[in-house]
Chains A and B, each alone.
Chain A
Amino acid sequence: MEQRGRSFYVLGAFFGLFVLFLYGPIITIGVLSFQGPQGGLTFPMNGTSLHWFRDLFEQQAVGDIWGSFRRSLALALMVMVTTVVVSVLGGLAFRKRFRGSGALFYLAIASLVIPSILVSLGVGLIFNQLGFRVHWASSGYGSQLTWTLPFGLLIMFAVFNRFDKSYEEAARDQGASPWQTFAHVVLPIIAPSLLGVALFGFTLSYDEFARTLLTAGSYNTLPLEIFGMTTNVTSPVIYALGTLTTVFSLLVIGLFFLVVWLIERSKARKAAAPVRRPNTRRAG
């Protein structure tokens, strides 16, 4: 094995600093959320306590954060399921050249780069002029999809660009219908990537702010609620909330990776096990 050059250690140190830069602040507020009841927004710690976490469970201290958490969770699940289904369908469509595919592709890219506030403003205006009430589950849901779908679609592009078509051909040659080919051949192969799409759909929705701002209506989602707090809450309770919701996000991310790992492991096991011949289609 080649000796590690000096560049490895220099760049490694740079990388270490970058990781510190990424995680340092969030770890800091994690620590500060355990401030004592008299503690302030910065160090030194004035004792340690769970005071600020307890505050989160009292309505009058923080407003309706649990309601907004439930709404964010429901919305994130809705957006996640929709993103997976629509992205897979879109990915399948783009494997065939169809008329309008170029336009649709650029529309999806445009959806990523157009400033979020335009979506928020435009959807809000349409709902107002049509006399519909904006609500997180209708206008908010649609606005968030314009952010999560392009990510899902890009992942599906990456997946299908690397997909070995001979699996499908083999299935077709053995008489599988298009649906069977999809359900029993394509889907199992792309399943881990679908979990990736789901992860994007869930987390991007759960944390989305700009597109939901004018489209959530009178019931706030959690990020909107947190943003409201930043203007009038000046105690570590906001750190406690930040810590809790970050821990929740990390658990969700961890869960997705655990499932991917389990799927891969069971696949590896199946591949290692002796092939069982299906006892169908016996000559009779």
Chain B
Amino acid sequence: MLRSKDTILAWIQAAPLAVVLLGFLVAPIIMIVIVSFWGATEYSIYPDFQFDNYAFLLTSPVTYTVFFNTFKYALITWAFTLTIGFTVAYFLAFELRSLKWQIALFLICTIPFWTSNIIRMISWIPFLGRNGIANQTLISWGVIDEPLDWLLFSDFSVILAFVHLYTLFMVVPIFNSMMRIDRSLIEAARDSGATGFQTLWNVIIPLCKPGIMIGTIFVVTLVMGDFITVRFMSGSQRANVGRLISNDISLLQYPSASATAVVLLCTVLLVIAILLRFVDIRKEL
């Protein structure tokens, strides 16, 4: 009696969440899958059941280049955000001794997350442009004679922006994992004669694995699903899967955009499924 009353209450409480997710996540994805089999004329789409969109997508060499690019961005961004994020989290968790300072510096790292991504991208222009701060500085130091062209509107600027935007997604979960590590384990390692590096490699990193995995999932999926950073920071000169989709959308080719979206979704889910084998998210909160 009591049990079933509890369950009903839980269902009622969970209902709004379920309704929103079903209506604005599950239904749209089902719709995308359906539309990916539809046909399109230049200005309209019509219901159909054909595999043309997929056939075109999977036989076009552009698709493979673009998917390769997407993985490239994800992998390089992951490597940088992990290295930087881990180091920053390590400093916050192990080198600072008062909780007050830890909280204060942690907040300094998180505040940019609550400001606009687009503005943060725009703010790189005065740095990286042909006459930007980076080039001016390097010329005045005599490092280079001519301004570098590849600073803005290149793979470099795209990855720089990704690292700038998403390192936080590594810092937070890794910091969270580090704060749960029992400090006596580290003392024990040191007492048994482990060097600093051995402690890091054999004690701290294994215990941070869940945090690293959660950060990895965030960064990889954000980069793989992105279209705006690549478009803006490359000056429309580079492409990833997200841009392929958004280009089709701007040409009103919704069925083709949907097919690409379905393939992207499967790719992302596959990557996550592989990553999830290493961690149980629910235990980590």
Chain A residues engaging chain B, CB cutoff 8 angstroms: 7-8, 11-12, 14-15, 18-19, 21-26, 28-29, 32, 41-43, 85-87, 89-90, 92-94, 96, 98-101, 104-105, 107-119, 121-123, 125-126, 129, 142-143, 145-146, 149, 153-154, 157-158, 161, 199-200, 203-204, 206-207, 209-210, 213-214, 223, 226-227, 230, 238-239, 242, 245-246, 249-250, 252-253
For A32, what are the chain B residues with a Cβ–Cβ distance below 8 Å?
Answer: 126
Number of interface residues of B (CB under 8 A): 81
> A143 CB to closest chain B CB, in angstroms?
6
Residue contact B20 to A146, C-beta cutoff 8 Å: yes
Residue contact B119 to A246, C-beta cutoff 8 Å: yes
Instruction: Count contacts between A and B, CB distance < 8 Å.
Output: 249
**Can you name the residue of chain B whose Cβ is closest to the Cβ of A162?**
B285
**8 Å CB contacts to A: which residues of B161-181?**
164, 167
Contact with A along B248-285 (1 / 0, CB 8 A): 01000010011001001100100010000000011001
Residue contact B13 to A249, C-beta cutoff 8 Å: no
Residue contact A242 to B122, C-beta cutoff 8 Å: yes
For A87, what are the chain B residues with a Cβ–Cβ distance below 8 Å?
Answer: 17
> B217 CB to closest chain A CB, in angstroms?
6
If the complex has contacts A114-B25, A117-B261, A154-B285, are A14 and B17 also in contact, measured as CB distance less than 8 A?
A: no
Question: Interface SS of chain A: helix, strand, loop or mixed?
Answer: helix
If the complex has contacts A118-B265, A223-B116, A249-B115, are A145 and B87 also in contact, measured as CB distance less than 8 A?
A: no
Complex Cα spacing A239 to B119, Å: 8
Complex Cα spacing A282 to B123, Å: 67
Beyond known contacts A41-B126, A115-B226, A213-B246: 19 more, CB 8 A cutoff: A12-B91, A14-B87, A15-B91, A18-B167, A24-B127, A43-B133, A98-B14, A104-B18, A108-B17, A114-B268, A117-B245, A119-B24, A121-B249, A121-B254, A122-B29, A153-B17, A209-B117, A226-B116, A250-B111
